[in-house]
Amino acid sequence: MNCLLCGTPFQSTPTWSKLFLYELDSSTCTKCFGKFEISESTIDFTDFLGTPYEGAVDSVFCLYTYNEAMKEYLHQYKFLQDFALAKVFAGKLQHAFQAKEGIVVPIPMHPEKLVFRTFSQVDELLNVAQISYQQFLIKTKAEAQGKKTKKERLKTTNLFEAIQTIEATNYILFDDIYTTGATIHHAAKVLKDAGAKRVDAITLIKG
């Protein structure tokens, strides 16, 4: 097979996990994948203390840091719409979700943005990783959040609404990147206010 990032032919290494646990094959050569840096940082919720979002999120786990290789990956995947690149992290995401218990809820795109982008990058990451999920939220505001500060984001009226009954159980939010954390906290608050017992979050990247 050819590496999805550089196009170089490579052979996936067989492992016992792939044989008995149905682990997904890598779609990226070792050289390219080695450029991504595993996130070692701990998420700090201090800025949310004393706000309406305090206690909304129970934990956040981010797989990788936002380095130059990840920047290039996101540009190619999200903005150039190369959705085949969703396969790059499929095995790692599959493993991350196996360590958590709860209903997986992807962070949704606003319908207008989805039409422009043509596909949901968050949903596609889960689809390729063969992770079951449910759409419990809808995004109600179309304006971009990326250029706002954390304080500006937290002052924004909640970005999401629940579109299904939220049961008193565990939920796992999933997004592609965690920057200020405001998006995750907005979504978690909607779930908690509607009755969720616990809300954890997993993101591919820590910005």
10-residue stretch averages of pLDDT, the chain, 207 residues long: 91 54 71 95 91 95 97 94 94 94 96 86 97 96 62 73 97 96 95 98 97
CB 161 within 8 A of CB 140: yes
- Structural domain includes residue 21: no
Q: Is residue 171 part of a domain?
A: yes
Distance CA 57, CA 59 (A): 6
Q: What is the pTM of this model?
A: 0.89
Structural domains in the chain (count): 1
What whole-number distance in Å separates Cα of residue 158 and Cα of residue 27?
38
* Tokens encoding 53: 């979002």
Q: Is residue 55 included in any domain, yes or no? A: yes
User: What dihedral do alpha carbons 80, 84, 89, 93 form, nearest 10°?
Assistant: 110
Positive or negative CA dihedral for 69, 74, 75, 80? positive
20 belongs to a structural domain = no
DSSP 8-state class, residue 103: E
Distance separating alpha carbons of residues 125 and 139, to the nearest angstrom = 19
Residue type at position 10: F
**What is the distance in angstroms between the CA of the first residue and the CA of the last residue of the chain?**
31
* Residue 119, domain member (yes or no): yes
Within a domain: residue 178?
yes
Q: How much is the pLDDT for 52?
A: 92
Q: Which domain holds residue 49?
A: 37-66+91-206
Residue 108: which CATH number?
Answer: 3.40.50
Quick check: 177 and 204 in contact, CB under 8 A? Answer: yes
Other beta carbons less than 10 A from residue 177's beta carbon: 20
Examine residue 72 and state whether it is found in any structural domain, yes or no.
Answer: no
The answer to whether residue 75 sits within a structural domain is no
